[in-house]
Amino acid sequence: MIYLSAISLLIGSFVLSLVLTAGAKKLAAHIGFVARPAADRYHQRVVPLGGGIAIFATLLIFILTATAAIRFLPGYLDSLAQTANIDLSDFLGKIGQLLTVLLSVSVLFVLGLWDDKKHLGPFLKLVIQFAVATIAAIWGEVRVELFIENRIITSVLSAFWIVLIVNAFNFLDNMDGAAAGIAAAVSGILFTAAAISGQVFVGGLALVFIGTLLGFLVFNFPPAKIFMGDAGSLVVGFFVALLTLRTTYYHEAQSGQWYSVFMPLVVMAVPLYDFISVTLLRIRAGKSPFIGDTQHFSHRLKRRGLTDTQTVLTLYLATLCTGLSATFLYQVNLAGAILIFIQIVFVLAIIAVFETTA
């Protein structure tokens, strides 16, 4: 029954996202909510925005529906809870945290939608992002524990991580299919980690998120018929950060491999490579890191002669190559972990050599 429920979450979120994205595309084109060609953008045609609305709406509908079902129809879920060996009362005790998380992502959604319409400055966006991330870390319990007992330190570290991942995916949203596809690949790996850890609720959220992204990707894969905009990329980045922070990687009673806590860094190797490399390139050119251009990883690959489709498929494969290794971190000894980290460095090095070859 647990497998049927998992499949239902994946397919249900995919279908709803597909329908909402199709509707958002038509509505955006009708009201003129579109992205137009610009010197700092790669697309050369007018493309409807609004994909972020469909992504946010799908996630919100599924999360609220699931919460209402657990809260008001627990009897219908008893057999599922017993099969999955979970305590529904434990989830109900954390509804306050969930509402804080939903409020946080709602603020980011509104911020992104506002930016899509008015093109806000980077300082204001960063201030709001840090405020939202801090609230999510402290009151939403979206924070990493590591081996640090001090809640203030872990909350600050988690807030910085959330803002980093949010902006990493905001940067990744620079080519058709890039941000959504990479987020789906990363979330698939994190779902595997959650399943291994027996985290049913985190795994369920990951499945809904993956289904939502895939439904949107039907219209966003090259050539894109709709863009997610900042309203989508900020939401996507937040949910990826949420999954990385709420998934359990370290099991002292089972294995004791402390280095498994570095799994999020390994999984996020490609997005972070893009974020760091394009930031350094902009700074070296004397520009603000938050001013858009065509210096992204994807753009550099395309200048090597790849098509849009070949470029995003390369990004997906690179993400899977680095991310899949992370699922073994909790199983291997220290020597094995070092080899995994070396492999990640080599993969990124190959990418760097390829993208800089004339």
Instruction: Give the helix/strand (H/E) hosting 35.
Output: strand 34-35
CB within 8 Å of 254: residues ≥ 6 apart: none
pTM: 0.90
Instruction: Give the helix/strand (H/E) hosting 34.
Output: strand 34-35
How far apart, in whole angstroms, are the C-alpha atoms of residue 227 and residue 287? 26
Q: Which pLDDT score, from 0 to 100, does residue 41 have?
A: 62
Structure tokens at 196: 């291994």
- pLDDT tens digits, one per residue of 96-132: 888 999 999 999 999 999 999 988 888 999 999 999 9
pLDDT at position 29 over 80: yes
Q: Which pLDDT score, from 0 to 100, does residue 198 have?
A: 78
CB within 8 Å of 286: residues ≥ 6 apart: none
How far apart, in whole angstroms, are the C-alpha atoms of residue 4 and residue 7? 5
Structure tokens at 228: 């997610």
- pLDDT tens digits, one per residue of 330-355: 777 888 888 888 988 888 888 878 77
Q: Which pLDDT score, from 0 to 100, does residue 305 have?
A: 76
Q: What is the DSSP letter of 51?
A: H
Label residue 230 by pLDDT band (50, 70, 90). very high
* SS3 label, residue 181: helix
Specify the range with the lowest mean pLDDT, choosing from 127-141, 263-277, 281-295: 281-295
Task: Give the range with max mean pLDDT: 46-50, 129-133, 250-254, 307-311.
Answer: 129-133
How far apart, in whole angstroms, are the C-alpha atoms of residue 37 and residue 27? 20
- pLDDT tens digits, one per residue of 291-336: 766 677 777 777 777 888 988 998 999 899 888 888 777 777 888 8
Number of CB atoms found within 10 A of residue 229's CB: 26
Distances (CA, A) of 183 to 63, 162, 178, 242, 316: 19, 14, 8, 12, 9
- pLDDT tens digits, one per residue of 172-209: 998 899 999 999 999 999 998 888 877 888 888 999 99
What's the mean pLDDT in 51-76? 85
CB within 8 Å of 295: residues ≥ 6 apart: 278, 281, 282
Phi, psi for residue 47 in degrees, rounded to 5:
-130, 130
Instruction: Give the helix/strand (H/E) hosting 105.
Output: helix 95-118
